Structure 1
Amino acid sequence: METQMTGGCQCGRVRYSVTVRDDEAYLCHCRMCQRATGGVSIAFKNVARTDVRWEREPERYPSSPIARRGFCYQCGTPLTYEAHGHDRLDLTIGSFDDPGGFVPTEHSGCESWHRAWLDTSHLPASRTEENPSLVKRWMDKVGRLPD
C-alpha cells in the first residue's frame, strides 16, 4: 500500500499531505503524550520526514530534551511528535482527513496506560445528532453539525 493522504488542524490553518506506505499505527500512553494532549493516550502514524509536505508548517515547541511537538497555535491541535536527529516523525491519527483506514498494531509507553480506557466498547454510545442541546447550539451558531 502506498497512498497520498492529507490532514491538518481543526481550524484548517495548518495542512499537510503525506505519502503513507502502510496502514500501521500505534497508541502512545506515556505521561508526556498524556500531558501534551490531555488524553489517556494518543494515536500516531510514523512516517518518513521526507514523505511529509506542509502547506503551512506547524508551530513547534521543545516538549523534552529529546523531541519537539508540532501544533497549530491558533486552534491548539497537536500534529506531530518529532525526535531530534531522527529521519522519521509521528503524525497524530486524528489530524488526518480520513483516519479510518489505520490499524493499531502496538502500544508504546505502556508503563502509564490506563487499562480501563483500552476497551470501552461495552459502554453506552450515542451519536452527536442524538444530543438535542448540542445540536441546537451548533445549528444556532453555524447552521450545521461539525464534520
Structure 2
Amino acid sequence: MSTQYHGSCLCGKVKLSVPFANTDFSACHCQTCRKWSAGPLMTLAHSGDLTIEGQENVTHFNSSQWAERAFCKECGSHLYYHLKGTQNYYIAAWIFDDIKDLKFTAEVFIDKKPTCYAFANQTHKLTEADILAMAEGKA
C-alpha cells in the first residue's frame, strides 16, 4: 500500500505529489551530487509517474549520459535525479511537507565520501563499483 505525499520547492511554484510504498531514503556521496546539493544528496526512490504542478517552472540539467537533474528555475530548489529512459526518480527528501517516519537506510558512492563527515545511522553502504555492477545487471 502506498501513501501520497506532497512537497514543493522553496518558492512554491513547483509542487509534487508522489506515492511512496515506503519512506526509506538514501544519501549519495558522489562528487556530482555533492556539487549539486552542497552536501550529500538525500533522496526517496520512486518508480512511476510523478504528478507535477507548475511543470513550466521545472528546468532539467543533463548531468550525464544516463541521468538528468531537475530543479525549480525560479528559486533553484533541487527536485529530483532521473535516470533517462526509465521511470526511476530519486526525489529530494526534504521537499516533502508531510512525510513522517523516514528511515535512513543506504549510502551510495560511500568510497567517494569526504572524510570530514560521517552519519551516525547504521546504513547499507554501496561503493561506486557496487552501483556500476547494479546498473549493468551484475549485482
Give TM-score scaled by structure 2 length: 0.78
Tell me if structure 1 keeps the 8 A contact 2:61–2:69: yes
Unaligned runs of 5+ in 1: 122-147
The answer for the alignment partner of 2:117 in structure 1 is 117
Q: Which residue of 2 aligns with 1:64?
A: 64
In the alignment, what sits opposite 2:51? 53
Please, what is the CA RMSD of the aligned residues? 1.8
Runs of 4+ in 1 over 6 A off after TM superposition: none
Q: How does 1:11-50 map to 2 (within 5 A)?
A: 11-39=11-39, 41-50=40-49
Structure 2: tracts of 5 or more residues without a match: 122-139
| Identity percentage of aligned residues | 26
3-state SS, counterpart of residue 111 of structure 2: helix
8 Å contact from structure 2 (residues 5, 99) kept in 1: no
**Structure number with higher strand proportion:** 2
Instruction: Give the partner amino acid of 1:25.
Output: F
| Higher helix residue share | 1
Aligned to 1:129: none
Q: CA deviation at 1:98?
A: 2.9
Q: Which protein has the larger Cα radius of gyration, Structure 1 or Structure 2?
A: 1
**Secondary structure of residue in 2 paired with 1:64:** coil
Work out whether residues 66 and 84 of structure 2, in 8 Å CA contact, stay in contact via their aligned partners in 1: yes
Q: Please say if residues 24 and 44 of structure 2, whose CA atoms lie closer than 8 Å, have aligned partners that are also in contact.
A: yes
Q: Which amino acid aligns with 1:83?
A: L
- By how many angstroms is 1:100 displaced? 4.1
> 2 CA distance for matches of 1:63 and 1:8?
22
User: What is the Cα deviation at residue 80 of structure 1?
Assistant: 0.5
